């Protein structure tokens, strides 16, 4: 079986401990490749390689030169878009068309940050007579990136793109379940002219390689995307060295549909927001809050749409692929068995095609109705294709339901009433609000991140560049 290696200091290397991890294809549950099982020693080697690059060729590169490297990388990703999509689809189980959208987004991240690299600047500040004061944005130095398995390419692209654009050298620990695309992109980055050590990838388990990265004293900033529990652990470990952490931790994002909404426009978006990537999306629209006046008719239409959904292997390229692994499948089953036990009605579900291998990790998309606001199906992240429908009587109740979880990542509002759109948008406790749309096609340019247990700090857009830099103030007294 093929064996993937770490990418450290511009070279491929086996795990220092000599051990490997088998990677399963979620579509049939069978191993198809091996990963290097990274150790603290591998992380240490990667951090040192990054430090050398930061103090050497990469640190010395001008902003325009960094932008040119990223632009060449975006071109190479575009040229290899299909190869990367095939790799991502097999590794994550997602339908090929969704993986193609991911590799297109990856190219776009590098293109966006290539253009932004030489547009970031400081300010001059008014101060006492006889002084000139200015601010400069400088890179942190060596940044650590802990990436999950749901969108390896996109989440890697958004944080590493912004970190490299601002002159940091990166050490990336992708998820053990899916990281082959990230390794291939590291190779393309070298081809694009990125100096050795500016981008290092160490694969392995979270509690081993991930923890070693989070607590390494040579790391100056950590970007983490994943579960709230692990986010807390990473923050605690980073705090030992007073290292700043950006956290993106998921959500229980609501879409609020009023009686005056354009339901023809809303319906496909309500469905795709939870079915995309089999619901394993931090910003999945996993709750639909429906105006009581249209509750039954909209549920009928949603039920029809769910009934028509087909689930199968990634290469069959249907509406939905398998879940990432058996643990995730069991998690979704546990939520659904709770729903059944507590008498929450199932309004409709899709179908797994008969050709889907029994050993794959499949779950039919499921629509649950009348979910009580206090139930864990209305409050906790399932991370599977399960949509919880609830009704509301008025705007205040809609708002209190929408804000009534520990999360606050994304929210959607569907109404034609302009005043209501803004009233709600301002009162929602959420990092992003979409009006008469949801997710805005990925939105590379749009700052993204949460409030409350969804995390803090912002990825994406120009805003991410601020997070990957520190501000230095220089006061010159000239009389
Ligand atoms: P996780 O948080 O454990 O894993 C995310 C990343 O963190 C992976 O690279 C993992 O190896 C690493 N990691 C794990 N333990 C670590 C540790 N002790 N120190 C440092 N790094 C560590 O997530 P998971 O177990 O793969 O999935 C569990 C749940 O997390 C899911 O059900 C879902 O709710 C949530 N999740 C959210 C997102 C998101 O985009 N917000 C992504 C993946 C998973």
CATH of the domain at 144: 3.40.605.10
Task: State the catalytic residue, choosing from 111, 176, 208, 248.
Answer: 248
Residue % of the chain over a pLDDT of 90:
98
| Residues 439 and 466 both lie in one domain | no
Protein residue closest via CA to atom 8 of ligand 1: 175
**pLDDT tops 80 at residue 440:** no
Give the C-alpha separation, 379 to 375, whole Å.
7
271 with 384, same domain?
yes
The tens digit of pLDDT for each residue in 48-102 reads 999 999 999 999 999 999 999 999 999 999 999 999 999 999 999 999 999 999 9
Asked whether residue 428 is assigned to any structural domain, the reply reads: yes
295 in the same domain as 229: no
> Is-catalytic flag, 248?
yes
CA distance 41 to 34: 19
Angle at alpha carbon of residue 84, lines to 80 and 87, rounded to 5°: 145
Mean pLDDT of 302-306: 98
In this structure, which residue's CA is closest to atom 29 in ligand 1? Answer: 227
394 C-alpha to center of ligand 1: Å?
37
Q: Is the CB of 388 under 6 A from ligand 1?
A: no
Task: Beginning with the edge strand found earlier in the chain, give each strand of the sheet holding 410-414 in spatial order.
Answer: 346-349, 366-368, 386-392, 287-291, 254-257, 410-414, 432-435
Cβ burial, residue 259 (10 Å; 0-12/13-18/19+): middle
- Write out the two tokens for 168: 């940091």
Residue 438 pLDDT > 90, yes or no? yes
Asked if residue 203 and residue 154 are part of one domain, the reply reads yes
pLDDT score of 266 more than 80 = yes
- Does the reported pTM lie above 0.95? yes
Q: What is the rounded average pLDDT of the residues 328-350?
A: 98
φ/ψ bin of 472: left (φ > 0), alpha (ψ from -120 to 50), beta (otherwise): beta
Ligand 1 proximity of 176 Cβ (cutoff 6 Å): yes
Same domain, 245 and 261: no
Q: 211 in ligand 1 pocket by Cβ < 6 Å?
A: yes
394 and 469 part of one domain:
no
- 51 within some domain: yes
Task: Looking at the structure, tell me whether residues 159 and 300 fall in a common domain.
Answer: no
Shared domain check, 316 and 231: no
Q: Pairing state of beta strands 11-13 and 221-225?
A: unpaired
Read off the pLDDT band of 345 (50, 70, 90): very high
Over residues 111-149, the pLDDT tens digits come to 999 999 999 999 999 999 999 999 999 999 999 999 999
Best substitution site from 177, 178, 227 to test ligand 1's pocket, by max atoms within 8 Å of Cβ?
227
Q: Based on the fold, state whether residues 261 and 350 are members of the same structural domain.
A: yes
**Ligand 1 atom 41: residue of nearest CA:** 250
Q: Is residue 450 part of a domain?
A: no
Each residue's pLDDT tens digit, 182-230: 999 999 999 999 999 999 999 999 999 999 999 999 999 999 999 999 9
Which value, to the nearest 10 degrees, does the dihedral of the CA atoms of residues 148, 153, 156, 161 take?
Answer: -160
Residues 285 and 357 both lie in one domain: yes
**Any atom of ligand 1 within 6 Å of the Cβ of 147:** yes
Going by alpha carbons, the residue nearest to atom 12 of ligand 1 is: 206
- Asked, for residue 449, whether it belongs to a domain, the answer is no
**Cα–Cα distance for residue pair 65/58, rounded to 1 Å:** 9
Asked whether residue 451 is domain-assigned, the answer is no
Residue 132's CB is within 10 A of a number of other CB atoms, namely: 13
Residue 441: the pLDDT is 72
Q: Is 448 part of any domain?
A: no
Tell me whether residue 436 is in a domain: yes
Tens of pLDDT, residues 160-189: 999 999 999 999 999 999 999 999 999 999
Q: Assess whether the C-beta atom of 175 lies below 6 angstroms from ligand 1.
A: yes
Residue 225 lies in a domain: yes
Number of compact structural domains in the chain: 2
The CATH number of the domain holding residue 359 is: 3.40.309.10
Domain extent, residue 333, equals 254-443
Instruction: Look over the chain and give the mean of its residue pLDDT values, rounded to a whole number.
Output: 98
Query: 99 and 44 in one domain?
Result: yes
Is residue 2 very low, low, confident or very high in pLDDT (cuts 50, 70, 90)? confident
Cα(226) to ligand 1 centroid in Å equals: 4
**pLDDT, tens only, 231-255:** 999 999 999 999 999 999 999 999 9
* Cα 128 to middle of ligand 1, angstroms: 50
Q: 327 with 218, same domain?
A: no
- Predicted local distance difference test score (pLDDT) of residue 58: 98
């Amino acid at each position: 079986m093929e064996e993937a290696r770490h990418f450290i200091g511009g070279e491929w290397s086996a795990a220092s401990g000599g051990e490997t991890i088998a990677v399963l294809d979620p579509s049939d549950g069978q191993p198809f490749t091996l990963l290097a099982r990274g150790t603290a020693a591998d992380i240490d080697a990667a951090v040192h390689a990054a430090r050398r690059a930061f103090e050497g060729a990469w640190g010395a590169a001008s902003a325009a030169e960094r932008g040119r490297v990223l632009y060449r990388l975006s071109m190479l990703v575009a040229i290899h878009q299909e190869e990367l999509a095939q790799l991502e689809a097999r590794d994550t189980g997602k339908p090929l068309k969704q993986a193609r959208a991911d590799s297109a987004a990856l190219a776009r991240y590098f293109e966006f940050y290539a253009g932004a690299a030489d547009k970031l600047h400081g300010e001059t500040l008014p101060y006492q007579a006889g002084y000139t004061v200015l601010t400069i944005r400088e890179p942190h130095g060596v940044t650590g990136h802990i990436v999950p398995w749901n969108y390896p390419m996109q989440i890697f692209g958004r944080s590493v793109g912004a970190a490299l654009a601002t002159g940091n050298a990166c050490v990336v620990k992708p998820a053990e379940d899916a990281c082959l695309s990230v390794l291939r992109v590291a190779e393309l980055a070298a081809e694009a002219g990125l100096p050795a050590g500016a981008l290092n990838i160490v694969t392995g388990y979270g509690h081993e390689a991930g923890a070693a990265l989070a607590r390494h004293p040579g790391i100056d900033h950590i970007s983490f995307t994943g579960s709230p529990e692990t986010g807390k652990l990473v923050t605690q470990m980073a705090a030992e060295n007073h290292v700043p952490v950006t956290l993106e931790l998921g959500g229980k994002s609501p879409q609020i549909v009023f009686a005056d909404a354009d339901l023809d426009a809303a319906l496909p978006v309500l469905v795709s927001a939870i079915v995309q990537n089999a619901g394993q999306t931090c910003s999945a629209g996993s709750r639909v809050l429906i105006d009581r006046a249209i509750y039954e008719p909209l549920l009928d239409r949603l039920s029809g749409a769910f009934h028509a959904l087909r689930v199968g292997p990634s290469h069959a390229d249907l509406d939905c692929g398998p879940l990432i692994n058996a643990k995730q499948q069991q998690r979704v089953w546990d939520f659904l068995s709770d729903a059944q036990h507590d008498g929450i009605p199932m309004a409709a579900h899709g179908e797994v095609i008969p050709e889907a291998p029994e050993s794959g990790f499949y779950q039919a998309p499921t629509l649950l109705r009348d979910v009580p606001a206090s139930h864990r199906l209305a409050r906790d992240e399932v991370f599977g294709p399960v949509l919880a429908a609830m009704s509301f009587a008025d705007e205040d109740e809609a708002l209190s339901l929408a804000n009534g979880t520990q999360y606050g990542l994304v929210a959607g509002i569907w109404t034609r009433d302009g005043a209501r759109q803004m009233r709600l948008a301002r009162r929602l406790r959420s990092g992003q609000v979409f009006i008469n749309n949801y997710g805005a096609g990925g939105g590379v340019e749009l700052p993204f991140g949460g409030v409350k247990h969804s995390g803090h700090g912002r990825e994406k857009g120009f805003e991410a560049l601020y997070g990957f830099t520190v501000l230095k103030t220089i006061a010159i007294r000239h009389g």
